[in-house]
Copies of this chain bind each other. A is one copy, B any other.
Amino acid sequence: SRSINLAVIPGDGIGQEVVAEGLKVLSAVLPQDVKLETKEYDFGAKRYHATGETLTDADLDSLKQHDAILLGAIGDPSVPSGVLERGFLLKLRFAFDHHVNLRPSKLLPGVATPLAGQPEIDFVVVREGTEGPYTGNGGTIRKGTAHEVATEVSVNTAFGVERVVRDAFARAQARPRKKLTLVHKNNVLTFAGHLWTNIFTKVAEEYPEVTTDYIHVDAATIYLVTDPGRFDVIVTDNLFGDIITDLAAAVSGGIGVAASGNINPTREFPSMFEPVHGSAPDIAGQGKADPTATVLSVALLLRHLGYDAEADRIDAAVAADLTERAGQPARSTSAIGDALAVRVAG
């Protein structure tokens, strides 16, 4: 008999609320014979204030035992900027080598977008997750003085770039349009830019059916608002991916519906699935948060674990629910979760 041994990290703010709905839908969609085991972890601001810890080696050992991780959101204004981001979220992505940060963007019929004319949007960003300016390399000298110098080092390796570029080509090959766009800034960041561009060009030879192009990150933001339909799969660096996926989420229904997977395709370590949005402390505890992004992240999780039919059922349920939402009064977090749970079970 099959089983899923899931680590659950509700985290801060609305994280608790949205994760509860994600689990509700997960339980509803799984076939009877699949045993779902969950273990909750208390990472986040509360634990940090109580113990000063963000993520210990023992925590990592424990998390390693799971098949996958579901994360709500981490972050609170009471904690200095960077402490939980670097000390928990990025530490985990790096420790578990989550090099494929997968972020699909699909504008569903009837869903509100800030763009005029309801354009067709259906692409996926493959963001590198373990290199670039996110490595924490760099430092500060003469801190706090008029002569302070602070550096940030973007580290890019052939190994790290090639594996994510290969993943993106494979994804593009599997999609109907078979198109892959490299987004970088190779005219200014020439060292990293050449590495990315050369590897992209080399791997492209193995995928003759995939149409490729290259766009500078600044120009990519223009296309994302003027012609988002041109994108199918995008592969990009960690920081550029961070920036363009927030924009992509905004134009394709908002961060309320933007899901992501921090994936280790080798399965050496568990992958982690989380909504793109943050902990939104301003609306926490009020039942106002939209759990849809978390539910869609559960679908990514299921697909990663090989439960494709169940993932499809969630996607279909969300699409149907979103289409029905247009013009209706906003529902509570749990009402949306209930509705989705009913749909996926039905």
Contact = CB atoms under 8 A, between A and B. Distances in A.
Given A85-B187, A190-B82, A221-B247, A151 B150 contact: no
Nearest to A241: B218
B195 A140 contact: yes
A206 interface: no
A148 interface: yes
Interface residues of A, number: 68
A193 B156 contact: no
A262 B185 CA distance: 20
Contact of A155 (B151, B197, B221): B151
A116 interface: yes
Count of this chain's copies in the oligomeric assembly: 2
Contact of A194 (B75, B140, B251): B140
Given A114-B115, A221-B250, A191 B140 contact: yes
B133 A154 contact: yes
Interface in A53-87: 75, 81-82, 85-86
Contacts of A243: 217-218, 221, 243
A191 B197 CA distance: 28
Interface centre among A86, A218, A224, A250 (most CB of B within 10 A): A218
Interface in A131-177: 133-134, 136, 138-140, 142, 144-159, 162
A53 B141 CA distance: 37
B154 A115 contact: no
A219 interface: yes
Interface in A214-266: 217-219, 221-222, 224-226, 239, 242-247, 249-251, 254-255
B152 A192 contact: yes
A85 B250 contact: no
A209 B19 CA distance: 42
Contact of A133 (B75, B186, B188, B247): B188
Contact of A134 (B142, B186, B188): B188
Contacts of A221: 221, 243-244, 246-247, 250
Nearest to A85: B187
A189 interface: yes
Interface string A29-73: 000000000000000000000000000000000000000000000
Interface in A115-131: 115-117
A332 interface: no
Contacts of A134: 188
Contact of A191 (B116, B150, B217): B150
Interface of A: 75, 81-82, 85-86, 90, 113-117, 133-134, 136, 138-140, 142, 144-159, 162, 185-195, 197-198, 217-219, 221-222, 224-226, 239, 242-247, 249-251, 254-255
Given A85-B188, A142-B158, 5 more contacts: A81-B187, A133-B152, A138-B154, A140-B194, A150-B195
